[in-house]
Structure 1
Amino acid sequence: MVGYDEAIYREVLEKAIDNIDEINAAVDGICEKGYKNLYLVGSGGTYSMASPVTYLLKTHSSIPWYWEIAAELVKAKPVSLGKDSVVITASLSGTTVETIEAAKYAQSLGAKVISLVGEDGCPLSECSDYVFENKKASNDNLVEEIYIQYFAIAARFMKNNGEFPEYDSFMGALKKMPDVLQGVREQQDAAALEFATRHKDTPFHMCVGSGNVWGETYCFAMCVLEEMQWIATKSIHAAEFFHGTIEMTDPEMSFMLFKSEDETRPLVDRVERFVRQHTDKVQVWDTRDFKLEGVEESVRPLVSPLVMSAMLERVSTHLSILRDHDLDIRRYYRVVEY
């Protein structure tokens, strides 16, 4: 397949899995000393990557949690953030200014900071209490490797809280992801190429998702189509589609529907039933289309975000090639002062 190195992809995912033992030790230590709440904090893509973790916590745990955009956290100064809080964040470069500021602010209050980075020693790691690095991580594999570690962190907190009986099955599934996700990319490649060929010149897309793939919906619309391809998009939660966005439906509108296997899937099904009555430009990306060899049926919904990410990487790559617009090209982001 074009656009990425399979050997490096597997190596990066294996490294994320290798970090789990250290993650467990860190979380166990935090739990032994006690904590009050979890803050999942990010900027842009890393903010969206925390979304599936918040959904896992919401549906499987009683641990208090907060999901925050880094820059807003620093300005808003949430009253529940303090010395008994644990902040979990990520930055591949470790130089994202807003995330660094949030980590420094959290530490100034006595909170513990856990960071996922490309390389230890970066500015973010210098203001973190626990750092987990993955030196060969890149934009080709960033989301999946962060998901593995994010999920491992949250799952360990839940297990130590006497919750999440699915822990062992879930961790077993995460450890199978190098083979599983490589298979997903291979199976998705032809469909992604067909979509990219059909839509390389489409000027606007409506991206609709829900549940634990809402973060992927948001991220693909903003970080890929807008940031990396300069294509106008709107990401809309399926539960909100019928409260305004419905009026944007017409025969020329392109819809991408992102389907997981969790409890909220009927929300996207409802949107699909409606939009198919009014336009032929409907693309469904569905994690159910993939076998996921070795993953227990009961935990398939929990790994849907990783599957969706692997699927969408193929779409991103083929769009960039057919549009002759490299995914690394930027006009403004980290190019000019703002």
Structure 2
Amino acid sequence: MLNFDEQRFLRIQSGAVALSKRLDEVVSSCLSAGAENIFFLGTGGAAILMQPAAQLLQRRSRFPTFIDMPAELVVTGSAHLTAKSIVVIPSLSGMTKESVALLAGLKEIGATVLTLVGHEETPLGKGGDHVFVNFAEDDTSCESFYLQSLLIALSVMKHRGELSNYDQLVAELSNLPEMLLQAKRAFEDRADGFARILAGSDYHIITGAGNVWPEAFYYGMCILEEMQWIRTRPVHASDFFHGTLELVEKEVSVILFKGEDALRPLAERVENFAPNYTDKLTVLDTADFELPGISAEVRALVSPILLSTVLERISAHLEVMRNHPLTTRRYYKRVAY
């Protein structure tokens, strides 16, 4: 595979799954101590990657679950954020400015802070009440953060008596890193063609529904815009028909991500509409990939993880094709803002 280290990938994703036992122990202790809610408080891309886990809890658990922006909470606070709150802060660098600023306030409140970081010797790596370190870099962090947050959500449901097959689900997730690697290999020949589609337009409407919508948002904002300077319009598939559809015409690129959860029909609605008005609809469907030994229930849960892993292959080809390394920035961490 182009510019890819297979063993590094397996090491990082296996490292994320290996955190399951300790994550479960910490969640159990927090709930036993009387935790009343959970906040997922990431910044930027890391925040987006928390959305599927937060959505899972909001829809399948009665445990109050919030997702918010640290930059806003520093200013406004929240009536729900108390000493009885569990707060999950993901930050690959461990130094994200807005999240570090929030940490001091969380200490004053007395909330229990779980930090998910790639580097321990950092403010967030040292500042959490419970620190989970799994080294990763930009090309491997998505799957790692998705997995860690999913494990937290499943653990909450388990200890509240809302999930009866936790052990089975985690056992399947332990096999996922190898399955993701196989998916990358299977997709490699298609990745170049997909990259050509992205390189062929300077504007893309990117859409999806359910737990793959955050990956559509993330890929548009954090990869195509930040790392490739390609303009995008991420829009949820249900909102697609409340404004964005008016921008669809011949030669307008529409990129559709399809997952395998209950919200798949919302994506299919876009899939049925768009070809009538543009000749540039491109669909990336997780159902097209084999995951031996992974149940339908887990496939639905890991659809955003599977999408992110094959999108990484597309990005690897795209940066070479456009002669624009994914590490190239004009402003991000380069100028004061």
* TM-score normalised per structure 2: 0.97
Aligned pair 1:3/2:3, yes or no?
A: yes
Write the distance in 1 (CA, Å) between the matches of 2:291 and 2:224: 27
Alignment deviations for residues 223-270 of structure 1 (CA, whole Å, 9 cap, x no partner):
000000000001000011111111001002101001111111111110
Instruction: Supply the AA of the counterpart residue of 1:25.
Output: E
- Of all paired residues, the percent bearing the same amino acid is 39
Matches within 5 A, 1:133-152: 133-135=133-135, 137-152=136-151
Write the distance in 1 (CA, Å) between the matches of 2:284 and 2:103: 35
Partner of 1:331: 330
Aligned pair 1:172/2:203, yes or no?
A: no
Partner of 1:41: 41
Partner of 1:294: 293
Offset at residue 113 of structure 1 (A): 0.6
Write the distance in 1 (CA, Å) between the matches of 2:55 and 2:168: 18
Instruction: Supply the AA of the counterpart residue of 1:318.
Output: H
Alignment deviations for residues 19-49 of structure 1 (CA, whole Å, 9 cap, x no partner):
2221122112112111010001111111110
Offset at residue 192 of structure 1 (A): 1.7
Partner of 2:155: 156
Alignment deviations for residues 150-189 of structure 1 (CA, whole Å, 9 cap, x no partner):
1111111110011122422321221111111001111122
Instruction: Supply the AA of the counterpart residue of 1:306.
Output: I
Write the distance in 2 (CA, Å) between the matches of 1:332 and 1:42: 21
Structure 1: runs of 5+ lacking an equivalent: none
Alignment deviations for residues 96-143 of structure 1 (CA, whole Å, 9 cap, x no partner):
0011112222222111110111121211123210101013x1112101
Aligned pair 1:250/2:249, yes or no?
A: yes
Offset at residue 307 of structure 1 (A): 0.6
Write the distance in 2 (CA, Å) between the matches of 1:205 and 1:105: 39
Write the distance in 1 (CA, Å) between the matches of 2:220 and 2:119: 27
Write the distance in 2 (CA, Å) between the matches of 1:253 and 1:165: 46
Instruction: Supply the AA of the counterpart residue of 2:289.
Output: F
Write the distance in 2 (CA, Å) between the matches of 1:201 and 1:243: 27
Write the distance in 1 (CA, Å) between the matches of 2:55 and 2:188: 28
Write the distance in 2 (CA, Å) between the matches of 1:286 and 1:72: 35
Instruction: Supply the AA of the counterpart residue of 2:286.
Output: T
SS of the equivalent of 1:276 reads: helix
Write the distance in 2 (CA, Å) between the matches of 1:177 and 1:54: 21
Aligned residues: 337
SS of the equivalent of 1:267 reads: helix
8 Å contact from structure 2 (residues 125, 133) kept in 1: no
Alignment deviations for residues 199-235 of structure 1 (CA, whole Å, 9 cap, x no partner):
3131000000111011101100000000000000010
SS of the equivalent of 2:95 reads: coil
Partner of 1:203: 202
Write the distance in 1 (CA, Å) between the matches of 2:94 and 2:299: 31
Partner of 2:279: 280
Write the distance in 1 (CA, Å) between the matches of 2:81 and 2:48: 20
Partner of 1:237: 236
Deviates more, 1:185-194 or 1:213-222: 185-194
Write the distance in 2 (CA, Å) between the matches of 1:302 and 1:154: 11
Matches within 5 A, 1:108-147: 108-135=108-135, 137-147=136-146
Write the distance in 1 (CA, Å) between the matches of 2:243 and 2:188: 34
SS of the equivalent of 1:230 reads: coil
Partner of 1:105: 105
* TM-score normalised per structure 1: 0.97
Aligned pair 1:181/2:183, yes or no?
A: no
SS of the equivalent of 2:336 reads: coil
SS of the equivalent of 1:228 reads: coil
Partner of 1:84: 84
SS of the equivalent of 2:169 reads: helix
Write the distance in 1 (CA, Å) between the matches of 2:93 and 2:292: 33
SS of the equivalent of 2:41 reads: strand
Write the distance in 2 (CA, Å) between the matches of 1:200 and 1:284: 16
C-alpha RMSD over aligned residues:
1.2
Write the distance in 2 (CA, Å) between the matches of 1:236 and 1:101: 30
Structure 2: runs of 5+ lacking an equivalent: none
8 Å contact from structure 1 (residues 4, 140) kept in 2: no
8 Å contact from structure 1 (residues 170, 302) kept in 2: no
Alignment deviations for residues 43-84 of structure 1 (CA, whole Å, 9 cap, x no partner):
111111011101211232111000112212222211110110
Matches within 5 A, 1:13-28: 13-28=13-28
8 Å contact from structure 1 (residues 107, 127) kept in 2: no
